Structure 1
Amino acid sequence: MILIENDFFKLEEEKGTVSLCAFQKGFLLSDVNKILDQFPRVSITSFQNLKKAIAEAVNQPVNIGVYLPLVTHLISKDKMTASLKVLATPAEFDQLKTDLAEKALETLNQAGITEGLNLNAIQDGLVPMQWVEAAKGIAPVHGRDASVRYYELSERKPTIQETGKADFYHLNFIDEVEQGEWLGEKIPPTDGTDGVNVLGEVLKAKKGKDKKLLYDQKTVRVAEEDGRFILRAAIRGIVSSAAGKISVANHLRIDGDVGIATGNIEFDGSVTVNGTVHEGFSVKAGVDIAILSEMGVREVERIESLNGDIFIKGGVFGKGIIRAAKTIFVKHANECTLEAGEDIHIGFYSKGSRLIAKNVITEEHKGKIFGGVIEAKGRVFANEIGNKIELKTIIQVEGFDRIRLQEDYVALLTEYKQSVQMIEEIQRHIDVYESFSLNLNDRQQAHLQNLKKAYDEKLKEISTHDQHRETLMKMLKIKGDGEISICRSAYPETYIEIKNMKKKVESLTRGTFYVTGRELKYE
């Protein structure tokens, strides 16, 4: 088929090949390009042959390109879209318009494009010399990951509540549940929905990732309910998170006082005393202790938590051992001794007492410390220290090595990351064994149990790392290498000591004392 013939050359197409026969020199190559613009279906594959043929004009046909179909297609690399282009001038397009939809469908069919056809675009949306999306695949919808949520433990953050003329020291301390109460749940992962590309190839959806419910099997039970796995309390008690697992600790509730009627209390779980603890009596618990009487306690023998916190709503008066492995919360401390493995929080005041903890914190607006000795590791905070009659008050902060603490923190994060990677690896092995659980022999069953035991041990390790991380973070937020902050005023006869650097307050003072290097600073 001759496409064009003039005095200089002839351009023709035969079986999809385009050739040029030049028989007279003098035709400009740029003018050839202008003529080719009239033939959108001609695609030059050898510009060198075209240039040579025009220049030499030897009267011999030379292959210069190919003759493309009227409707050409393009499939994206991901095979999710297919586009069409009509290779025609506007005038040609108008003449061929009635047959273009049929030719487009034929082009798509020959290319194997069968899915997601956009018939509206094919029938009415085609335009000359522009790509038009004619088919679009359906992407797979990957499954949702399993979602897990647990009973939300109350934040142990004491507050002062004012009701009329009375001030109440309040703390959400005990999360008590009855047997059968909800403790958590898991929504299982979904399979997802497969997709398909424009060539009809199935695109497999990924199943969502599963998550493990972490709970103490002795005190918490799990059951499938309406497609969810629900955790419920197996016993009545106090909700806690031990070794990274939700659990229910034994709870002993004393509705009245601890005294002659009850005798001394010693319990391996948590103890709540709705009344007070009489003089000379003791309460010792494996976990937490809450004494809820507004009267507080006076001249007790011992109140001790071996692994938890102590909350005494009404404060402490007089001698006796008040000791907690973690944190002590009291409304006030009067000529007593409090020892905490973590922090001591005072609602109103400490008078003539000895307080020993990592940090001693009083309520921001009303908290006072006057008289006695305060021994802290990192920080002491009070609204007032000392009093107007200049009662001798000693505040001692041992301080710490910040650089060493930062190094410990970085090392801990590395250990934490390694533990997480290891527990994920153990879980992968467990998943493999459990997928063949019905076919495991005795040796393999034993190995599976060892893997589960290793998982639990590593979980405890991660939980310990996390608790240690929180402690280090709290210390690193302290100003300098040790801090004493006075929000309102420190009175004369207040003695401040941080990392063996001492200062006696001679006049009313407010602000923050801290140590950096070998210098006691104040701001």
Structure 2
Amino acid sequence: MSSAGIGTSVKVSVSPDRMKAFILIKKSEQGENTPGINELLEELEKNGVVYGIKEDVLRKLAENPVYDQDVLIAEGLAPVHGENGRINFLIDINKEKKPVIMEDGSVNYRDLDYIVSAQKDQKICEVIPPTPGIDGINVMGSIIKAVSGKPARIVKGSNVYTSEDGLSFYSAINGQVKYENDKLSVFATYEVPADVDNSTGNINFVGSVFIRGNVLSGFTVEAGGDVEVFGVVEAATIKAGGNIILRRGMTGNNKGVLIAGGNIVARYIENSIVEAANDLKAEAIMHSDVKCGNRLELGGRKGLLVGGITRVGREIDAKVIGSYLATNTVIEVGVDPNVRERYKVVKAELSNLEENIRKTDQVIMLLQKLESIGRLTDEKKELLEKSLRSKVFYENKISEYREELVKLEEKLQMEAQGRIRVENYLYSGTKISIGSATMHVKETLQHCTLYKEGADIKIGAY
């Protein structure tokens, strides 16, 4: 706090942030006259207080002084920081994607309404600009800079155009709207009017694909958006950046493959390899190799999971798991299978890099010895420089992988969240792992929830 005074009768102090100034009048023992308004102003000026002076308070102090008490005499103006820009979507970009359960218990896979679509020239969103900050000023008269709001980030992708001011975004075509990684695009949909067969060949499309018929064995459908099939999928391969919707199902004959960057919804899946980054929903999954990043839901009339191996990140909700014939059924829950696989890859890569850096250090050490005795040829000098560059590259990569490994290990520790809920029957012959805990089901269980507690799997009420 800074201070000064008229003799010893008046002191001015300023707060550390210089946003407030106080005045203190000490009663004079000699009975001197109390300071007048000009003297008080002079004292403020002497201490550098020039802004936000409360003149009414000053007048009152001059007329009726308050002794031995700090009185707020000046106050600065705080800066007003600007608001960040934002994006106002005029369509439901986060539409809930959920099949409808009918009164008879069946699931309506016909009206899923998964696609967020826009018509040609339809306005998709408005960009609300950021507001500028308003500078403040302290009692010493110094400007305090305000922070202006940051603009909202949105990148114009495929089939999108903007207004002249760049604040409104429109669809250039009839198609599917995707907003991912701050990029707004509209994808046209490709429709196959009948089967995917010799007449169509394999399909690879940047947008979404609608297939009115079946997908026959041996064919491949790849899409940047969603894939929807109205008929049956045989021993074919379907890969989608978004969701896969099978109105009927898949009979894979141990060769069928479904891989989705989003959700997979099907009536049934048999003898297939299935990977869903997010959720998987079906009425029955039989003798298949399943990976599901988040939640596996088996509903409808059957709600059946039997045979094969199923790895699920968070939760399985089924009516029946296994069969009365004690069919070998393996289930792993609690860790996203993609995280587990990535963990193995990173560990292996890290081991290779550490071996590479060990070998590189040996080469560098040998070449530096030759350099110290003046026997380093131009060719070996080039090799030394290359080895030093390689070492830096390996060190940076090792650092990146170690950071990633820490994050992956944190995810692997979330195994306690794994749950298996069975509404009707969980049959013997089923092997269950939740995180690091394992259990072999020896006798049929009913209406139960399985979860990990400590090192064991516990069985609770449904």
What are the residue-to-residue correspondences of 1:63-74 with 2, within 5 Å? Answer: 68=7, 70-74=9-13
The residue aligned with 2:148 is: 208
Instruction: Say what the alpha-carbon RMSD is for the aligned residues.
Output: 5.0
* 2:184 corresponds to 1:250: no
What are the residue-to-residue correspondences of 1:316-465 with 2, within 5 Å? Answer: 316=250, 321-327=256-262, 329-333=264-268, 335-340=270-275, 342=277, 345-350=280-285, 352-358=286-292, 361-363=296-298, 368-376=303-311, 381-386=316-321, 390-397=324-331, 408=343
* 2:237 corresponds to 1:298: no
Distance 1:140 1:210 in 2: 16
* 2:67 corresponds to 1:141: no
Equivalent position SS for 2:72:
strand
What are the residue-to-residue correspondences of 1:53-202 with 2, within 5 Å? Answer: 68=7, 70-88=9-27, 100-109=36-45, 111=47, 113-125=49-61, 126-147=65-86, 153-154=93-94, 158-162=98-102, 167-169=107-109, 171=112, 173-183=114-124, 186-199=127-140, 201-202=141-142
Pairwise CA distance, 1:362: 1.9
Pairwise CA distance, 1:133: 1.9
Pairwise CA distance, 1:121: 0.9
**Contact 1:85/1:128 (8 A) holds in 2:** yes
Q: Percent sequence identity over matched residues? A: 15
Distance 1:469 1:166 in 2: 44
Pairwise CA distance, 1:101: 3.5
Distance 1:92 1:156, change over 3 A: same
Pairwise CA distance, 1:491: 4.7
What are the residue-to-residue correspondences of 1:258-277 with 2, within 5 Å? Answer: 258=195, 263=200, 266-273=203-210, 275-277=212-214
Distance 1:67 1:340, change over 3 A: closer
Distance 1:496 1:75 in 2: 73
Equivalent position SS for 2:53:
coil
The residue aligned with 1:57 is: none
Distance 1:368 1:135 in 2: 73
**Contact 1:370/1:393 (8 A) holds in 2:** no
**Contact 1:370/1:391 (8 A) holds in 2:** no
Pairwise CA distance, 1:376: 2.8
Distance 1:407 1:221 in 2: 38
1:487 to 417, 422, 430: 422
What are the residue-to-residue correspondences of 1:473-512 with 2, within 5 Å? Answer: 476-479=413-416, 485-492=420-427, 494-496=429-431, 498=433, 503=440, 505-509=442-446, 510-512=448-450
Pairwise CA distance, 1:333: 0.9
Q: After superposition, what is the alpha-carbon deviation per residue over 1:184-236, rounded to whole angstroms, capped at 9, x for unaligned?
A: 5554444422333334x3414234264572425554445564xx734444444
What are the residue-to-residue correspondences of 1:214-233 with 2, within 5 Å? Answer: 214-223=154-163, 225=165, 229-233=167-171
Distance 1:86 1:256 in 2: 92
Distance 1:361 1:208, change over 3 A: same
Distance 1:259 1:406 in 2: 33
Distance 1:138 1:494, change over 3 A: same
Pairwise CA distance, 1:264: 5.6
Pairwise CA distance, 1:269: 2.2
Q: After superposition, what is the alpha-carbon deviation per residue over 1:465-494, rounded to whole angstroms, capped at 9, x for unaligned?
A: 99x9999877654349xx772423435454
Equivalent position SS for 2:444:
coil
Distance 1:374 1:385 in 2: 15
Structure 2 length-normalised TM: 0.63
**Contact 2:237/2:256 (8 A) holds in 1:** yes
The residue aligned with 1:445 is: none
Distance 1:338 1:176, change over 3 A: farther
1:238 to 153, 164, 176: 176
Pairwise CA distance, 1:385: 2.8
**Contact 1:185/1:229 (8 A) holds in 2:** yes
Distance 1:502 1:129, change over 3 A: closer
Number of corresponding residues: 389
Pairwise CA distance, 1:284: 1.3
Distance 1:288 1:333 in 2: 22
Which runs of no fewer than 5 residues in structure 2 stay unpaired? 348-399
**Contact 1:384/1:488 (8 A) holds in 2:** yes
Structure 1 length-normalised TM: 0.57
The residue aligned with 1:5 is: none
Equivalent position SS for 1:115:
coil
Flag the structure with larger Rg: 1
**Contact 1:364/1:487 (8 A) holds in 2:** no
Pairwise CA distance, 1:109: 4.9
Which runs of no fewer than 5 residues in structure 1 stay unpaired? 1-65, 413-461
Q: After superposition, what is the alpha-carbon deviation per residue over 1:146-188, rounded to whole angstroms, capped at 9, x for unaligned?
A: 4456787436753443457764246553222334445555544
Pairwise CA distance, 1:119: 1.9
